[in-house]
């Protein structure tokens, strides 16, 4: 009998298995597809690789704009795709080797619950008995009737990562992190981007001033922007894509549909263990329990659909099982980032969360930051939200602001006061000193 069985080997499942090995728990990790899950194989890792490879294009453009010189960078997309494949393969091997070092049993199979203490492996037709189970099955791209992927002209965020030929025009439905990041990659390589969003601004989950800064940059990059625009259907004619809005039709060479993700909770036997989903997500309590001995972590519980949140939840659950933890998981300060340019970070409360409450804001522009100016990329700002003279939220938009996210998380988590800020020396020249300036305004 296993102390723990884990379904899903993405960031949450992997970290749970790794922590279980460290705690000397007999553990089985079950993954139907590939080790690393969505994040490693078709998500955050390849997209950041693509953005990193095309970043010189952005910098050359900025340095040209401020008349420091001219230049051109020709990216080999075929070489980039090969590097992506090699990096993913090497990381998968490293994951497997690390888990085996901790005596984790890895099964490439689909796990289906038979009851609250037994799980069946579909392909191998064997059953595993367990004391505890962790569901970490993640999410898949949301498919909407009329907007179905065809893998050629209408693409999911996974499928578009395999494109070697850069389309002259690319329509993107959805302006969340996936749409913005992939849009920047293709824009840098020459695609004309048409961004379509049902709501009234880009990155609609961020505060309006963040969205406004993103909007300014996208306009400068000559993206065609369509807000408050609902897509009725997509049609194909003569190898072209036609996106039908309520009052017009947009034509493009390719279309990326990036309108959210849905949890992978079907056909894993939840009905056998008396777990009912809510819109596909598995409800959990403050200890991430879906039932007495079964936990749900990461995207599948819908609490925070971020890889680092899943990893943290996985480690927490194992410590709970090993009696090394007894405090509830929630509330938890979870940071988020959007990459490319401009980058966006957010941690803690946003203005959107504080309607009707008293709060104060301090904000500084990045135009005077020496590191941002060194790259000719001084647009953006850092914003701090205060309640009762304590920091409750930090957000920022601009050049490489993701470098601030860990410090910002610590500050929000510890609810720093201005006196606590003054206890620390912030190095110069860094982006961090603009964070200090925002904190002490």
Catalytic residue positions? 428
Tell me whether residue 145 is annotated as binding. no
Tell me whether residue 178 is annotated as binding. yes
The three-state DSSP-derived secondary structure of the chain is: CEEEEEECCCHHHHHHHHHHHHCCCCEEEEECCCCCHHHHHHCHHHHHHHHHHHHHHHHHHHHHHCCCCCCCCCCCHHHHHHHHHHHHHHHHHHHHHHHHHCCCEEEECCEEEEECCEEEECCCCEEEEEEEEEECCCEEECCCCCCCCCCCCEECCCHHHHCCCCCCEEEEECCCHHHHHHHHHHHHCCCEEEEECCCCCCCCCCCHHHHHHHHHHHHHCCCEEECCCCEEEEEEECCEEEEEECCCEEEECEEEECCCEEECCCCCCHHHHCCCCECCECCCCCCCECCCCEEECHHHHCCCCCHHHHHHHHHHHHHHHCCCCCCCCCCCCCCEEECCCCEEEEEECCHHHHCCCCCEEEEEEHHHCHHHHHCCCCCEEEEEEEECCEEEEEEEEECCHHHHHHHHHHHHHCCCCHHHHCCCCCCCCCCHHHHHHHHHC
Tell me whether residue 175 is annotated as binding. yes
Q: How far apart are CA 36 and CA 42, in angstroms?
A: 10
Tell me whether residue 176 is annotated as binding. yes
Q: How far apart are CA 245 and CA 233, in angstroms?
A: 8
Tell me whether residue 111 is annotated as binding. yes
Tell me whether residue 174 is annotated as binding. yes
Tell me whether residue 306 is annotated as binding. yes
> Which residues have a Cβ under 8 Å from the Cβ of 233 and sit 6 or more positions away?
146, 147, 244
Q: How far apart are CA 20 and CA 14, in angstroms?
A: 10
Cα separations in angstroms, 135 against 51, 174, 300, 331: 31, 28, 8, 21
What are 413's two structure tokens? Answer: 């988590």
Half-sphere exposure of 209 (CA within 13 A, CB side): 20
Tell me whether residue 308 is annotated as binding. yes
Q: How far apart are CA 285 and CA 329, in angstroms?
A: 9
Tell me whether residue 194 is annotated as binding. no
Tell me whether residue 48 is annotated as binding. yes
Half-sphere exposure of 16 (CA within 13 A, CB side): 38
Tell me whether residue 21 is annotated as binding. no
Tell me whether residue 218 is annotated as binding. no
Binding site residues, as ranges? 48, 111, 174-181, 197, 260, 299, 305-308
Binding site residues for NAD(+), as ranges? 174-181, 197, 260
Binding site residues for FAD, as ranges? 48, 111, 299, 305-308
């Amino acid at each position: 009998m296993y102390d723990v069985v884990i379904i899903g080997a993405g960031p949450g499942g992997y970290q749970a298995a790794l922590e279980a090995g460290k705690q000397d728990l007999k553990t089985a990790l079950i993954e139907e597809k590939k080790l690393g899950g969505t994040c490693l194989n078709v998500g955050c890792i390849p997209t950041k690789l693509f953005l990193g490879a095309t970043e010189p294009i952005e910098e050359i453009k900025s340095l040209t704009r401020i008349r420091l010189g001219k230049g051109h960078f020709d990216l080999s997309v075929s070489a980039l795709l090969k590097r992506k494949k090699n990096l993913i393969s090497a990381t998968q091997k490293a994951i497997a080797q690390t888990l085996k070092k901790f005596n984790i049993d890895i099964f490439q199979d689909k796990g289906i619950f038979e009851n609250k203490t037994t799980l069946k492996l579909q392909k191998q037709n064997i059953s595993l008995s367990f004391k505890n189970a962790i569901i970490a099955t993640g999410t898949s791209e949301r498919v909407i009737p009329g907007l179905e992927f065809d893998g050629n002209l209408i693409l999911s965020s996974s499928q578009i990562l395999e494109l070697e030929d850069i389309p002259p025009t690319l329509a993107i439905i959805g302006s969340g992190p996936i749409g913005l990041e992939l849009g920047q990659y293709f824009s840098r390589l020459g695609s004309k981007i048409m961004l379509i969003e049902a709501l009234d601004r880009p990155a609609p989950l961020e505060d309006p001033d963040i969205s406004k800064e993103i909007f300014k940059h996208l306009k400068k990059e000559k993206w065609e922007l369509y807000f408050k625009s609902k897509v009725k259907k997509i049609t194909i004619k003569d190898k072209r894509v036609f996106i039908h809005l309520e009052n017009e039709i947009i034509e493009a060479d390719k279309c990326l549909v990036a309108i959210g993700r849905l949890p992978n909770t079907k056909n894993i036997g939840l009905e056998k263990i008396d777990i009912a989903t809510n819109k596909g997500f598995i409800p959990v309590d403050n200890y991430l329990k879906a039932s007495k001995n079964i936990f749900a972590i990461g995207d599948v519980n819908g609490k925070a659909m971020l890889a680092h949140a899943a990893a943290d939840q996985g480690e927490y659950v194992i410590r709970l099982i090993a009696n090394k933890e007894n405090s509830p998981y929630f509330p938890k300060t979870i940071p988020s980032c959007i990459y490319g340019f401009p980058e966006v970070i957010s941690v803690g409360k946003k203005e959107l969360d504080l309607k009707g409450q008293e709060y104060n804001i301090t904000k500084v522009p990045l135009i005077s930051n020496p590191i941002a100016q060194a790259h000719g990329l001084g647009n953006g700002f850092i914003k701090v939200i205060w309640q009762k003279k304590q920091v409750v939220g930090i957000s920022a938009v601009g050049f490489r602001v993701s470098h601030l996210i860990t410090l910002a998380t610590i500050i929000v988590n510890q609810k720093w006061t201005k006196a606590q800020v003054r206890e620390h020396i912030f190095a110069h020249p860094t982006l961090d000193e603009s964070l200090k300036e925002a904190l002490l305004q």
